[in-house]
Amino acid sequence: MPKMKTNSGAKKRFALTGSGKIKRKHAYKSHILTKKTKKQKLNLTHTGLVDKADTKRVKIMLGLR
């Protein structure tokens, strides 16, 4: 049986932390930034964690299961 391929889009978007959680970036930070406040843009800059409900699916896409 062949090896499972890693999803190319997922490997560009997600990264693992040392404790095994999955880091992600926030959406809405790429364009139309003029109408967004400084506070909103600053908060979108920080990384977040993938929700518990989605971690299994993301780990499968990253080839970790």
Alpha-carbon span 31 to 33, nearest angstrom: 5
Tens of pLDDT, residues 1-55: 888 899 999 999 999 999 999 999 999 999 999 999 999 999 999 999 999 999 9
* Structure token pair of residue 59: 């780990």
Distance from C-alpha of 56 to C-alpha of 35, rounded to nearest angstrom: 36
CA distance 20 to 63: 14
Residue 56 pLDDT grade (very low, low, confident, very high; cuts 50, 70, 90):
very high
Q: What is the pLDDT of residue 21?
A: 96
User: What is the rounded distance in angstroms from the CA atom of residue 45 to the CA atom of residue 38?
Assistant: 11
The reported pTM is 0.81
pLDDT of 13: 96
- Residue-level pLDDT at 17: 96
